[in-house]
Amino acid sequence: VRWVLQLKKVPYEPKEYQAEIDKEELERTTGLSTVPVLWVDGELIGDSDTTLEWLEARYPTPRLLPDDIGLRVQARAWEITATQMVAPFARLTAIGRFRSLGFKKLGEQSAQKYDWSPEADAHAQRTLGLFLPELAQALESKGYLVGDGFTRADLTMACMLMPVVGPPPDELFALDAGTRSLFGIPLAQPSIAPLRAWRDSIYQRYRGGRVTPA
Ligand SMILES: N[C@@H](CCC(=O)N[C@@H](CS)C(=O)NCC(=O)O)C(=O)O
């Protein structure tokens, strides 16, 4: 969401969210239990998917979705794959790892919130194990997910790969070492390595500067 706001030069004021402290207020004011959320002049726009759609409609420049309907539907399919499959499935496998390491909060609470089970974990690992090496191979030979230019598909996939391959390097994304170490899954590392290179290159060329979370 911040990436799109910045690309489209929409002024915004970031508000830090800390789960333990701000959870109740978030749920009370938005009816949602996850971030990010966008408020505009006191009106709740929504979570990230809804927000990106809202921004594209009101701030068409630069265009982040292709005009051609065939390419447009491809971009949407990639977005859905990234936000509904890649990131949540990587999160499920991470929750499994946190549980096996005995991390109480990250393991047990997240397991409940995100419907973790051994079966869901195994399914997620199987699906990612098939999908990610092929995605890595495809992106190695072709720099963009849709057509021959940067779209919201690349932006969204680049973001959602964080729980898979870890955060971008420090010069592109500031994050303390402890938080940094929580991201990334040990899934067949060599075969998915090109994904990290692709993601870093997308950040390098299109993110518009180093990301510095609050
Ligand atoms: N569909 C939502 C999902 C966002 C989401 O999963 N956010 C997670 C961060 S990975 C979150 O806010 N988790 C807070 C928590 O579990 O306490 C969106 O795209 O905005």
Token readout for 39 is 């408020």
- Give the pLDDT band (50/70/90) at residue 183: very high
Going by CA atoms, what residue is nearest to atom 13 of ligand 1? 34
Whether residue 189 has pLDDT greater than 80? no
Mean pLDDT of the chain: 94
Long-range CB pairs of 170-174, under 8 A, 24+ apart, other chains included: 171/210, 172/200, 172/203, 172/204, 172/207, 172/210, 172/211, 173/203, 173/210, 173/211, 174/210, 174/211, 174/212, 174/213
Ligand 1 mean position, distance from CA 48 (Å): 9
- pLDDT in the model for residue 105: 80
9: left (phi over 0), alpha (psi -120 to 50) or beta: left
Ligand 1 mean position, distance from CA 133 (Å): 25
Going by CA atoms, what residue is nearest to atom 7 of ligand 1? 34
Answer whether 113 contacts ligand 1 (Cβ < 6 A).
yes
Model confidence pLDDT, tens digit, residues 149-181: 999 999 999 999 999 999 999 999 999 999 999
